[in-house]
Amino acid sequence: MKDWDTPFTPALGIVRALDVALDLIEKDGMEKRWKRAEELGDWTRKQLKGIGLELYSRAPSATVSAACVPAGVDGSRLVKVMRDEKGVTLAGGQGELTGKIVRIAHMGSITREDLECGIQILKETIQELSGKK
């Protein structure tokens, strides 16, 4: 890039989001951000077990938690209902785990309050889809 010009319009929203994220890392320090994600992960997994879900991994990540979808509940439908009808985004499984697990992120700007609300809605949605209200 001889003239420091791009051949197309850059994704300015992504560049701005990166700038904000880097400011947060600079302000808090990387170690604090990692510790926060780890603490939210521990809390999230405790809550998932508290609503009766089995954790998928014996060595969970600090950034995402995976839980097994209860028998009788279609995990793909669960993810779709949560997103489209409840306004809560979580991820399903991939490959052979499609429809069998849900994944909840706990990194970045997500808060404990966000997770609390999402897990409560997850519990209610599982009850609705399993017919156990």
Position 1 in a domain: no
- CATH at residue 23: 3.90.1150.10
Is there a domain that residue 4 lies in? no
Which two three-digit tokens encode residue 100?
């069998």
Asked whether residue 1 carries a pLDDT value surpassing 70, the answer given is no
Establish if 6 belongs to a structural domain.
no
> pLDDT for 38-82, tens place per residue?
999 999 999 999 999 999 999 999 999 999 999 999 999 999 999
Concatenating the DSSP letter of every residue in 49-94 gives HHTTPPBS-SS--SSEEEEEPPTTS-HHHHHHHHHHTT----EE--
Single pTM value for the model? 0.82
Which H or E run includes 33? helix 30-50
Residue with tokens 């017919």: 131
Q: Could you tell me the residue range of the domain that residue 70 belongs to?
A: 12-130
Assess if residue 3 is contained within a domain.
Answer: no
